């Protein structure tokens, strides 16, 4: 089960100034408070693929980190399956914006991190290979991350996350820095994977097309402080394309406008 309920969630950072910047004004030394997220209300159903869009620095990563339990919210409530989130857990696995693979472990050892509960070695090995196979990295089990290309590293991290069998997978810009073709293939893989395992997936992206093609729902964050600017169900059949669905194409123009681009090129 991967049901997420977020109510009135707010997050404020206090940026501490270095001492003695302005001695006359002691209030300033306490640091300025920056409200990053304000009054976020969001409900995500089990098995949903939700894509988050928003301008850079609006707090997308912050929201995901809070959901993952890496950071506490300042205000409001966050419940996963009815339980308040107390901290990181193997039930909600985070796939990092920049590689989170352990560079001192091989691909197989990294994937094994999610399968440590299996005491039967043979069974564990079989499962490791199965997940590596799923992301088409067979033959690279014993390679170290530095010996893989950027796209292969992402896939390895995906395999590691899948191996834990989490209720929720949280992905922060999983396609950033990939070349166009790898990007397209990874996108397809993630969509297929989602159709297959039916887990709740949260995905942050800068790419509007990614969000509209992949998401069961698209959530746009915006404003200052950041709130939810749009929360829209996408009931378009898959595989999706902008040519076949004029309504999707119109929505795309709307989203471009919302994010401050006047015309979609």
Partner 1 sequence: MDGINPTYFHVAANFNFSPFERVTRLVLPAIIPEIVTALRMTVTISWLVVVAAEMIAVRSGLGFLILDSRNALRMDFVMDGMIVIGLVGLALDRLMRGLGELEGARWSRMRH
Site for ligand ATP in 11-50 (CB under 6 A): 13, 15, 34, 36
Token code pair at residue 39? 């009054």
Binding mask 133-172 for partner 1 (x = CB under 8 A): -----------x-xx----------------x--------
User: Rounded distance, CA 38 to CA 26, Å?
Assistant: 27
Kind and range of the H or E run holding 197: helix 180-197
Instruction: Pick between residue 142 and residue 233 the one whose CB is nearest to partner 1.
Output: 142
Instruction: Pick between residue 141 and residue 210 the one whose CB is nearest to Mg ion.
Output: 210
In 3D, which of 166, 135, 128 has the Cα closest to residue 151? 135
Residues 68 and 4 sit within 8 Å (Cβ to Cβ): no
Sign of CA dihedral 131, 135, 139, 143: negative
CA atoms within 13 A on the CB side of 146: 3
Q: To the nearest whole angstrom, how small is the minimum distance from the Cβ of residue 97 to partner 1?
A: 9
Site for ligand ATP in 44-103 (CB under 6 A): 54, 56-62
Residue selected from 90, 126, 257, 261 as contacting partner 1 according to rule CB under 8 A: 90
- Parallel, antiparallel, or unpaired: how do β-strands 227-233 and 217-222 relate? antiparallel
Partner touching 59 among Mg ion, ligand ATP, partner 1, none, CB below 5 to 8 Å by kind:
ligand ATP
Residue selected from 12, 61, 125, 207 as contacting Mg ion according to rule CB under 5 A: 61
Q: To the nearest whole angstrom, how small is the minimum distance from the Cβ of residue 255 to partner 1?
A: 30
- Burial category of 227 from C-beta neighbours within 10 Å (exposed 0-12, middle 13-18, buried 19 and up): middle
In 3D, which of 44, 43, 50 has the Cα closest to residue 7? 43
Instruction: Pick between residue 96 and residue 256 the one whose CB is nearest to partner 1.
Output: 96
Which residues, including other chains, have CB under 8 Å from residue 265's CB and lie 6 or more apart? none
Partner touching 36 among ligand ATP, partner 1, Mg ion, none, CB below 5 to 8 Å by kind:
ligand ATP
Partner touching 259 among ligand ATP, partner 1, Mg ion, none, CB below 5 to 8 Å by kind:
none
User: Rounded distance, CA 70 to CA 55, Å?
Assistant: 22
Distance of CA 102 to the CA centre of its chain: 19
Partner touching 90 among partner 1, ligand ATP, Mg ion, none, CB below 5 to 8 Å by kind:
partner 1
Interface positions with ligand ATP (CB under 6 A): 13, 15, 34, 36, 54, 56-62
Interface positions with partner 1 (CB under 8 A): 68, 70, 87-90, 92-94, 96, 98, 100, 102-105, 113-114, 116, 144, 146-147, 164
């Amino acid at each position: 089960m991967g049901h997420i309920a977020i109510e009135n969630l707010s997050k404020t950072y206090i940026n501490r100034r270095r001492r003695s910047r302005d001695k006359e004004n002691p209030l300033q030394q306490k640091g300025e408070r920056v409200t990053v997220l304000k009054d976020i209300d969001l409900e995500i159903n089990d098995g949903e693929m939700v894509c988050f869009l928003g301008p850079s620095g609006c707090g997308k990563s912050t929201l995901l980190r809070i959901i993952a339990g890496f950071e506490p919210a300042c205000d409001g409530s966050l419940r996963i399956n009815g339980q308040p989130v107390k901290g990181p857990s193997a039930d909600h696995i985070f796939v990092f914006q920049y590689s989170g693979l352990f560079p001192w472990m091989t691909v197989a050892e990294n994937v094994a991190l999610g399968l440590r509960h299996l005491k039967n070695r043979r069974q564990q090995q079989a499962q490791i290979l199965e997940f590596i196979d799923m992301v088409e990295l067979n033959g690279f089990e014993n390679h170290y991350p530095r010996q893989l290309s950027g796209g292969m590293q992402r896939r390895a991290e995906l395999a590691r996350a899948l191996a834990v069998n989490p209720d929720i997978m949280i992905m922060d810009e999983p396609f950033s820095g990939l070349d166009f073709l790898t990007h397209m293939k990874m996108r397809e893989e993630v969509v297929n994977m989602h159709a297959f395992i039916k887990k709740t997936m949260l995905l942050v992206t800068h790419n509007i097309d990614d969000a509209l093609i992949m998401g069961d729902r698209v959530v746009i964050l915006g404003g200052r402080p950041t709130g939810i600017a749009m929360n829209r169900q996408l009931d378009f059949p898959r595989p999706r394309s902008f040519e076949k669905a004029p309504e999707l194409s119109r929505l795309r123009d709307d989203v471009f406008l919302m994010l401050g681009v006047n015309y979609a090129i």
